[in-house]
A = this chain, B = another copy of it.
Amino acid sequence: MMENKYPMSSVPNYKDVLSAHERIKKQILKTPVLSSSSINKITGASLFFKCENFQKVGAFKFRGASNAVLQLSNEQKIKGVATHSSGNHAAALALAAKKSGVKAYVVMPENAPEIKKKAVKSYGAEITFCKPTLEARENTLQELIKQTGAVFIHPYDNAQIVSGQATAAFELLQEYKDLDIVMAPVGGGGLISGTAIAAKAFNSKIKVFAAEPEMADDAYRSFKSGILLPSVNPNTIADGLRTSLSELTFKIISDKVDNILTVSEESIINAMRLIWERMKIIIEASSAVPLAAVLEHPLIFKDKKTGIILSGGNVDLENLPF
């Protein structure tokens, strides 16, 4: 029913990543790569942070959303795009659509935080509220698409989205060509899938790790069992990582990711605080998960050059974990 324009089989390749980068590069920010000598000293690692917290809308999601919107046909542009999300993808899709003069429809649960409603509205999207259940969300979206003819842009089960997210690792590797390891957090899997495609094509010797909260370890369990398992009552502070893998992202992760490292909530908070205090930059909890993996598994990273995608910087300043 929620038909995706891009069938699952169309796993994106490196060419798609290069095309995506060409397509979106005028619209996105080329974010900086930062290092911290004090965090390197604490961890014994050599870490290079790709700062997607500085990306437009404050998250890497703007890359994928831009890549999808910029490939709409003229007919599709007239009808608009739609998604259900209360997070960064909705804001990213809204801004990407606005930049192309395209209407964006976003289905959000009526109890979503005011700050998120405001962000999505500020980018000009039309919000349809629904009851806070998965069923209500999907039904509302289907109804909306039926009425408007808008194209559904899934937050990660979409090859164009994955190719767009891949451009963060692509830029990182253009700047730091000799990384031994590249790591990103895994939630729905769009970012880590794109990261793995970009890194393995750039140099097949690069190890690609996903970092995941123990409290939302569906990717870990799926990866180890070989069966796509859903996220069960995920209750992690890393709210961007509570979603489950899709068929597309599970396939890419199974093929290309070397390992998934899970981390405790305490490590996530410690890592988040370390980045705030030592690097003086604001990241959301989800972005701290890879550094938490370095803190929990120091031997893996000792004397290695590791690139980390800091996925986003959207936090509620009135509700910090420290």
Contact = CB atoms under 8 A, between A and B. Distances in A.
A204 to B, nearest CB: 33
Tell me the number of copies of this protein.
2
Contacts of A279: 54
Contact of A313 (B32, B280, B283): B280
A281 B317 CA distance: 12
* A280, A283, A313 pick with most chain B CB within 10 angstroms: A280
A279 B53 CA distance: 9
A277 B284 CA distance: 11
A320 interface: yes
A280 B320 contact: no
Given A32-B32, A282-B282, A277 B317 contact: yes
B280 A53 contact: yes
Nearest to A272: B317
Interface string A26-56: 0000001000000000000000000001100
Interface residues of A, number: 17
A176 interface: no
A53 to B, nearest CB: 5
Contacts of A54: 279-280
Interface in A303-322: 313, 317-318, 320, 322
Interface string A271-312: 001001101111100000000000000000000000000000
Interface string A251-289: 000000000000000000000010011011111000000
Contacts of A58: 280
B317 A276 contact: yes
